Structure 1
Amino acid sequence: MEPPRRGGPAVAVMGMLVLVVVLCGAADGWTGEIHGRVVCDVCGDSSIGPEDHVLEGAEVAVLCITKSREVINYQAFTSSKGIYTVAETMPESDRWESCLARPISSYHEHCTRRGDAHSGIKFTYNLSSGHSHTVKPFLYKPASLPMYCS
């Protein structure tokens, strides 16, 4: 004799309904990403050349204002490739409207002074869900320039 089956078609249909409800709820979400690089401008010429190198562990702050006027502050550190990333998933009604990215500090022993004239970069975030905004690189320069930079 065969044991009684549990569930059956009614349970399968109910499981699919739960899955559909969960997936439909996720459709209202919005995901945004901001990334950029931090570079040591070895010669202090405000351009990135072959003598320059990325800074690992540099700290960057990103401040965003949402559509609902909430202010959200993010802190990021650069990877071994000098790249920082900030990402968020939230309801579409709360998505980022504008952001300000600014360098905070560099822990590299030879390159700790901010090299660019701007203390931050302000931008409007008007990208659809899943798209990222790239911020121009932040530059730091050494306390003393090498002789080959003259």
Structure 2
Amino acid sequence: MESRRWELLLSLSLLLSFLFVSGARGWTGEIRGRVVCDVCGDSSIGPEDHVLQGAEVAVLCITKSGEVVNYQAFTNSKGVYKVAETMPESDRWDACLARPISSFHEHCTQLGGGTAGVKFSYNHPSGYFHTVRPFVYRTVNVPTYC
């Protein structure tokens, strides 16, 4: 019984060694960001502002091999969206464009200036993430307390 266990462990070790030596490596990347409502339209995030849950964001990336991949994400209750992918190292992201698509919040639907999209190079090693600056929506009618 003991010799069978050792044979199994040796076989497993050889298989794992083969996988690592043969270059069967994967790469994982992540892009994340936030979407907020700038209630007073003052271009700064303050106590009167809030995150937008359910806002839609598109992320378009081109890989090192030239493939174009398109992702769609929605913000969670903290206003955060995330896009993640695991792929072969040779196909990893090279450059990406993140852009806001829509806000489903009834009072905050006007896209703030300068938030049409953010282009960036993706040069992080596997397991790391890139944070995109927040996308900002504004209210249609600015409250009187602003």
TM-score, with normalisation over the residues of structure 1?
0.88
Matches of 2:25 and 2:2 in 1, distance apart?
38
Q: Which residue of 2 aligns with 1:106?
A: 103
- Secondary structure (helix, strand or coil) at the match of 2:145 reads helix
Superposed structure 1 runs of 4+ greater than 4 Å apart = 22-27
1:38-77 correspondence to structure 2 within 5 Å: 38-77=35-74
State whether structure 2 residue 62 is matched by structure 1 residue 85.
Answer: no
Tell me by how many angstroms 1:25 deviates. Answer: 6.0
With over 3 angstroms needed to count, the CA separation of the structure-2 counterparts of 1:130 and 1:11, relative to structure 1, is closer
Let me know the Cα RMSD of the aligned residues. Answer: 1.9
State whether structure 2 residue 14 is matched by structure 1 residue 17.
Answer: yes
- Secondary structure (helix, strand or coil) at the match of 1:74 reads strand
Give the counterpart letter for 2:73 in structure 1. Answer: A
Unaligned 5+ residue runs, structure 2? none
Tell me by how many angstroms 1:12 deviates. Answer: 3.1
Matches of 2:5 and 2:109 in 1, distance apart?
66
Is contact 2:100-2:115 (8 Å) kept? no
Matches of 2:139 and 2:21 in 1, distance apart?
52
Q: Which residue of 2 aligns with 1:34?
A: 31
Tell me by how many angstroms 1:15 deviates. Answer: 2.5
Identity of aligned residues (%): 64
> Which stretch shows the higher mean deviation, 5-14 or 117-126?
5-14
Give the counterpart letter for 2:111 in structure 1. Answer: R
Matches of 1:134 and 1:145 in 2, distance apart?
29
Is contact 2:64-2:92 (8 Å) kept? yes
